Amino acid sequence: MEAGIVGLTQTGKTALFNALTAAGATEANYTKPNVGIANVPDARLTQINQCMETEKIVPATIRVVDIAGLAPGGEGAGNRMLAEIRNVDAIVHVVRCFEGTGEKVDPVGDIETVDLELMAADQKVVVNALDKARKQARTGEKSAKARVEALEHCEQVLEELKPCRAADFTEEQQRELKSLGLITAKPVLYVANVGEDDVATESDHAKQVREHAEANDGQFVAVCASLEAELSELDDADKLEMLESLGLTEPALPKVAQAIYDLLGLQSFYTAGPKEIRAWTVLKGANIREAAGAIHSDIERGFIRAEVYQVDDLIELKNEAAIKSAGKLRMEGKEYLVTDGDVCHMLFNV
């Protein structure tokens, strides 16, 4: 699972990418996007560690791709750029809400420039697929009929200048559309990139981005990407001093990472012991056997059952022996659906 960072040029996309991944990347281009791994800050790892000693702590991670920006003049997205966006699972749309580049700050206009480009790309895909599906439907192919209905719905939504994610599809229609990789059907997080003078508040520009996100089935977060990139390079003491000078208590970057994590439909479960406390990533709705596979394919293959409790139980009762005595330690079989915050001991035999 990965998220693609998109937007116009000079919006701070790469600064956000660098802040998330500590990559020190230069501006993405049309031939080679920047790709990196970002840690997902998680207070529960610290809470588990307060109840048991361990040699190391490993957070969950997300994969992010910094995709080349569109030119403000409307030069259009290249095929390679569109292909990169189609390949990601979610979109992080960075919008300029800061002064200083010489260009007028127009967040909604900038969003529309990008969105119209992406909707136009989806329209081409839908038109071509619809022609093919209609021919197949005439032969009586049942799945083709469902595909035609889904594509016609997409076509109507796009003609209304709305993203495909705004459409209400049935589960069958969603299955038929999945292989097309429609860009505007992907979940989107709008990131209002504000100036350093606005880090403690929410400017009118950022509010416009928030309102657009709410009206277009998107999520929203505000951040000063240049500041976060700078903070990411400092040690803890210098970071705290800089935050205090700005009247802040903590960086905004963890909110961005967590928002991307949620956008991808991910949740965390944990393994905990003297060697390692670790957050593992699974899709929401995954069963415990699939979670075992996130650790290792052999554990999934030989899965027997899992001992499970919640981080909150550990915080309350302080250790696993007390959790067991209180009847909070559960034995779960392979059909158990993992809950965010589960601590799991996998029992397996291979």
| For helices 107-137 and 204-215, angle between their N-to-C axes, nearest 10 degrees | 20
Rounded mean pLDDT for each run of 10 residues along the chain, 350 residues in total: 92 91 68 87 95 96 90 61 90 92 86 92 93 86 83 92 86 83 94 86 88 91 90 86 83 89 96 97 97 97 97 96 96 97 95
Tokens 């999934």 -> residue:
300
**Contacts for 301 with CB less than 8 Å, ≥ 6 apart:** 348, 350
pLDDT at residue number 101: 67
pLDDT at residue number 74: 47
pLDDT at residue number 25: 62
Strand 219-223 and strand 188-194: pairing?
parallel
pLDDT at residue number 158: 93
pLDDT at residue number 107: 95
Q: Do 158 and 189 contact (CB within 8 A), yes or no?
A: no
Element (H, E) at 102: none
Tokens 């439909």 -> residue:
265
pLDDT at residue number 146: 82
pLDDT at residue number 137: 87
- Structural domains in the chain, CATH included, are 285-348 (3.10.20.30)
Q: Do 155 and 128 contact (CB within 8 A), yes or no?
A: no
pLDDT at residue number 320: 95
User: SS3 of 262, please?
Assistant: helix
Other beta carbons less than 10 A from residue 329's beta carbon: 17
Instruction: Give the Cα separation of 44 and 342 in Å (integer).
Output: 11
Nearest to 18 by CA among 231, 278, 303, 249: 231
Instruction: Give the Cα separation of 101 and 86 in Å (integer).
Output: 30
Strand 61-66 and strand 34-39: pairing?
antiparallel
pLDDT at residue number 77: 57
Q: Is the dihedral of CA 72, 192, 82, 122 positive or negative?
A: negative
Other beta carbons less than 10 A from residue 138's beta carbon: 11
